[in-house]
Amino acid sequence: MARNTTSTGPTTGPGTGPGKPGTATAGAGRAKPRRRRRVGRGLQYLALSGYLVFLAFPLVWLLSTSFKPPRELVQLHPTLIPESPTLSNFVQAFTEQELGRAAWNSIQVSLASALLTVLIATPASYALARFKTRLGTVALGWVLLSQLFPFVLLIIPIFLVLRQAGLANTHAGLVLIYVVWALPFALWMLQGFVRNIPRELEEAASVDGANRLQTLRRVIFPLLTPGLVATALFAFISAWNEFFFALVLIKTPELATLPVALARFVGIEGTARLGPLAAGSLLATIPSLVFFAVMQRRLASGSLAGAVKG
């Protein structure tokens, strides 16, 4: 092992360490692949950094734009750092469109949608994954089929149904639609997670005297945490970004969600008020980033929980 050959330790260069006499040539021979490995690792980091810059650039540009005054937005050679930074875009975004209230509406609707989606999808996906019946296959097929309908086809019937139920122009109606919309994918995703949990664990719990509910609570759910988190994230982001249903179903300005409020900065044929739009969009990313930051830890820790190993 490497720890027995100090000359090849990570902190010493090839041939420079206190190696035994006669090992220098062998050390130099080993140094080559090590150098190659280092170069390779360096290139990996370089590629990773490039990829990160590529991913982060739109966000950085958004940040830059949100602080630029109107004149800097039409420069032939735009700068990344605003020459005369201003907060006026944020002021406009907040005063004209009440983005604070819209953000609060979006948070409520998205959180409720995520929670309800997880609540409904969890038992349903468990049943679909564990109990093999013809009905289950049909149900899964139907779930898949339901995804094929374009939503423009469904929007008018949905609107009429919600109106009859007194849920048009309410957040509850919107949550209902988002949950129904997210459920098919959530079911498919979660049942995959359930299938990956070995049945043997449930059988072992049963042998140990646990009833079905205890098995679910103490064995399945903990192992399902990454799946639950992924499902919640998916449902949250779907609801957070959704525009069309929110536009059509909500008519009271005070109930509007963020995407609808932000669209009001866009004008005819692609023209837009770039400054306030960038400022608003930047603020709109913060809650979802926070949600991700909180949840992704669970995503990682859950996946490391292990199952039948050891």
- Which residues would be at the binding site for other proteins (CB under 8 A)? 70-71, 73-76, 78, 92, 96, 108-109, 111-112, 115-116, 118-119, 152, 155-156, 159-160, 163, 166-173, 175, 217-218, 221-223, 225, 228, 243-244, 247-248, 251-255, 263-271, 273, 305-307
What minimum distance in Å lies between the beta carbon of 163 and other proteins? 6
Nearer to other proteins, 74 or 148 (CB): 74
The Cα–Cα gap between 190 and 229 comes to 10
What minimum distance in Å lies between the beta carbon of 6 and other proteins? 39
Q: Which of 303, 158, 172 is nearest to 225 (CA)?
A: 303
What minimum distance in Å lies between the beta carbon of 152 and other proteins? 7
Q: Which of 177, 172, 181, 170 is nearest to 250 (CA)?
A: 170
Nearer to other proteins, 135 or 266 (CB): 266
Nearer to other proteins, 118 or 129 (CB): 118
What minimum distance in Å lies between the beta carbon of 207 and other proteins? 14
Residues contacting 70, CB < 8 A, separation 6+: 275
The Cα–Cα gap between 166 and 249 comes to 11
Under 8 Å between Cβ of 224 and 235 = no
Nearer to other proteins, 57 or 151 (CB): 151
Nearer to other proteins, 45 or 243 (CB): 243
The Cα–Cα gap between 119 and 113 comes to 10
Structure tokens at 308: 């039948």
Q: Which of 97, 47, 13 is nearest to 265 (CA)?
A: 97
What minimum distance in Å lies between the beta carbon of 158 and other proteins? 9
Q: Which of 291, 256, 287, 288 is nearest to 171 (CA)?
A: 256
Nearer to other proteins, 171 or 282 (CB): 171
Return the residue matching tokens 């086809």. 153
Nearer to other proteins, 192 or 198 (CB): 198
Q: Which of 29, 73, 37, 137 is nearest to 275 (CA)?
A: 73
DSSP state of 266: B
What minimum distance in Å lies between the beta carbon of 44 and other proteins? 34
> What letters, b where the CB count within 10 A reaches 16 and e where it falls short, cover 181-204?
bbbbbbbbbbbebbeebeeeebee
What minimum distance in Å lies between the beta carbon of 160 and other proteins? 6
Nearer to other proteins, 29 or 78 (CB): 78
What minimum distance in Å lies between the beta carbon of 60 and other proteins? 20
- Residue 88 CA from chain centroid, whole number: 31
Exposed/middle/buried for residue 102 (C-beta within 10 Å: 0-12, 13-18, 19+): buried
